[in-house]
Chain A
């Protein structure tokens, strides 16, 4: 089965030079594509999780009593929201990367302790995290003060009220905007190409640089993979949103 598919595309490439699906019939190129997909997926999942955690912690800190803590969070948001993610990636890797300590696993070559993949994860998570803080803050502000007072009058601490009452309600309000931001984040992972993170876009660009006839075929794959990846994310988020709907409570599609 697989052999006949490979044969079909090999023949197609010979017949028509514009449609060289080299990553289907050449095992070496196929491996590059699969590696790229894996890195993209890894980057997307890790950054989504980290950015959500950053958002939750940031939103909690925004309600802190200390003005210094609140200004630090505000500064962080302004910095990451008002600069392009591509510039952030390059700044983190090329500027900060120079000052990070190195180590030598083999005794000859020095390696920085944070790899380019590491910097991409840090940079992209903080980028999306800045938006998530604002998204969760809006959700928290939508929870009436009186609901929090009820929790307090039942003896709950501020932390208990946050975790068991405010956050579950705020989260529901935040989900649609969070959904948007995470879609954006997954698409922005392609910019890690700029610091040579071997994700899907990087691998496909390398392939069509090596084989110029594969350009069309690479473009097609790029779109298919990202539509599928983002499609699954949106599908999952929408299902989650539906499952979180509270009977008789406004919003959240209920």
Chain B
């Protein structure tokens, strides 16, 4: 059990809390004891070389990948609990993927409206109003009736962000959301995420955009081979990295 037992979580406690998380795929141990806390309204970025377990880590937070041992709690609710109500968890945690993963047979508006209507059983009229507002918010007014196939990668990714926000989550997970985009469209997606972060949304990002991480993150975690090698606020992290592995990685990228 976590110290914040299910049900009596208060905003002064970590909204996401990871303790000694281990995860293997077959013989390959991807996460070898990851622990950190995220407070409400915080923006954290996870960076690191490919195959260091970043995406796996973030996918464990909304139970897309089960963990082998340790604990992940979201608002005091244990994610690894076999009795976990996944719907309750996924109402709290929104996720945006690298490949957008929009539903290609639905228009942008329908994509955004689908989950609140089907899953939360909300009234269609109020969902539609909210969905239209979200599409405006991600600066896609006029694209409501376009199908994903008619939108550019950056536009699709922004629809995906709106779709996730429509569930009114408390935490947003971004899994390398700009990795599939060309440099020009990367910017429009990053602006959207920045808006969100500035409004106080708790965000966990896996990213390769170092400049962006430096700009918006409250805290940066550098992972390599399944462990957190080094972490800190962007200013210290980027300028005063101590671990040789971090220095080497940053040296290659910056």
- Bound pair (A, B): yes
Shortest CB-to-CB span from B77 to chain A, Å, is 14
Decide yes or no whether B114 CB sits under 8 A from chain A.
Answer: yes
Do A164 and B114 touch (CB < 8 A)?
A: yes
Provided the pairs A156-B115, A246-B104 are in contact, do residues A146 and B150 lie with their beta carbons within 8 angstroms? no
Whether B104 pairs with A169 at a CB distance below 8 angstroms is yes
A172 to B105, CA, bound (A): 10
Interface mask (A113-156 → B, CB under 8 Å = 1, otherwise 0): 00000000000000000000000000000001011011111111
**Contact of A155 with B119 in the complex, beta carbons under 8 Å:** yes
A247 to B104, CA, bound (A): 9
Interface: B49 (CB within 8 A): no
The answer to whether A229 has its CB under 8 Å from any CB of chain B is no
Q: Which residues of A are found within 8 Å of B91, using beta-carbon distances?
A: 155
> CB distance B150 to A154 under 8 Å?
no
* Binary contact track A91-132/B, C-beta < 8 Å → 1, others 0: 000000000000000000000000000000000000000000
A246 to B107, CA, bound (A): 10
Residues of B within 8 A of A147 (CB): 101, 103-104
**Could you say which interface size class chain B belongs to?**
20 to 34
Per the 8 Å Cβ criterion, residues 137-165 of B in contact with A are: 146-151, 160, 163-164
- Are B118 and A149 interface neighbours, CB within 8 A? no
| Closest partner residue, chain B, to A163 (CB atom) | B118
Q: Which residue of B lies closest to A171 (CB)?
A: B105
Are B149 and A153 interface neighbours, CB within 8 A?
A: no
**B250 CB to nearest chain A CB (Å):** 30
A249 within 8 A of B: yes
Q: Is the CB of B101 within 8 A of A150?
A: yes
B90 contacts the other chain (CB 8 A):
yes
Q: A156-B119, A160-B119 are in contact. Are A248 and B150 (CB under 8 A)?
A: yes
A-B interface contact total, Cβ < 8 Å = 76
User: When the two chains form the complex, which single residue of A149, A164, A172, A248 contacts B149, counting CB atoms closer than 8 Å?
Assistant: A248
Residue in A144, A151, A155, A172 whose Cβ sees the most chain B Cβ within 10 Å: A155
Which residue from A144, A146, A169 sits with its C-beta under 8 Å from B105?
Answer: A169
Shortest CB distance A53–B (Å): 21
Cα A157 to Cα B146 in complex, Å, equals 26
Contact A249 B115 (CB under 8 A): no
What are the residues of chain A within 8 A of B115 when measuring CB–CB? 154-156
A193 CB-CB contact with B under 8 Å? no
Chain A residues, Cβ within 8 Å of B148: 248-249
B105 x A249 contact (CB < 8 A): yes
B97 with A146: CB separation less than 8 A: yes
Interface 0/1 of B92-106, CB less than 8 Å to A: 011101010111110
- Asked if residues B114 and A154 are in contact (CB atoms below 8 Å), the reply is yes
> Distance in Å from the Cβ of A174 to the closest Cβ of chain B?
14
Complex Cα–Cα for A155 and B148 (A):
21
B105 A248 Cβ-Cβ under 8 A: no
* Chain A 154-192 interface mask (CB, 8 Å, partner B; 1/0): 111100100011001100100000000000000000000
Query: Least Cβ distance of A151 to chain B in Å?
Result: 8
- How far is it, in angstroms, between the C-alpha of A198 and the C-alpha of B226 when the chains are bound? 71
Q: How many residues of A contact B (CB 8 A)?
A: 22
User: Which residues from A are CB-within-8-Å of B90?
Assistant: 152-155
* Complex alpha-carbon distance, A152 and B148, angstroms: 19
Q: Is B62 in the interface zone, CB < 8 Å from A? A: yes
* B164 A154 Cβ-Cβ under 8 A: yes
Q: Whole-angstrom distance between the alpha carbons of A156 and B164 in the complex? A: 13
Given A172-B105, A247-B149: A156 and B95 interface contact (C-beta under 8 Å): no
Considering only CB atoms, which chain A residue lies closest to B164 in the complex?
A154
**Residue from the list B62, B104, B105, B146 in contact with A153, Cβ < 8 A:** B62
Give a binary string over B160-172; 1 marks a CB under 8 Å from any A CB, 0 the rest.
1001100100000
Question: B242: which A residues are within 8 A, CB to CB?
Answer: none
- Report the bound CA distance from A146 to B55 in whole Å: 14
Beyond A160-B119, A172-B105, is A248–B97 a contact (Cβ under 8 Å)?
no
Q: State whether B147 touches A246 (Cβ < 8 A).
A: yes
From 239 to 254 in chain A, residues with beta carbon under 8 angstroms from any chain B beta carbon are: 246-249
CA distance A153 to B94 in the complex (A): 7
Closest 6 CB pairs of A and B: A248-B149, A150-B101, A154-B115, A155-B90, A155-B119, A248-B150
* Residues of B in contact with A (beta carbons under 8 Å apart): 62, 64, 86-87, 90-91, 93-95, 97, 99, 101-105, 114-115, 118-120, 146-151, 160, 163-164, 167
Known interface pairs A146-B101, A154-B164; 17 further A-B residue pairs with C-beta atoms within 8 A, sorted by A's residue number? A146-B99, A147-B103, A149-B101, A151-B103, A152-B64, A152-B86, A152-B90, A153-B64, A153-B94, A154-B163, A155-B91, A157-B87, A165-B103, A172-B105, A246-B104, A248-B104, A248-B149
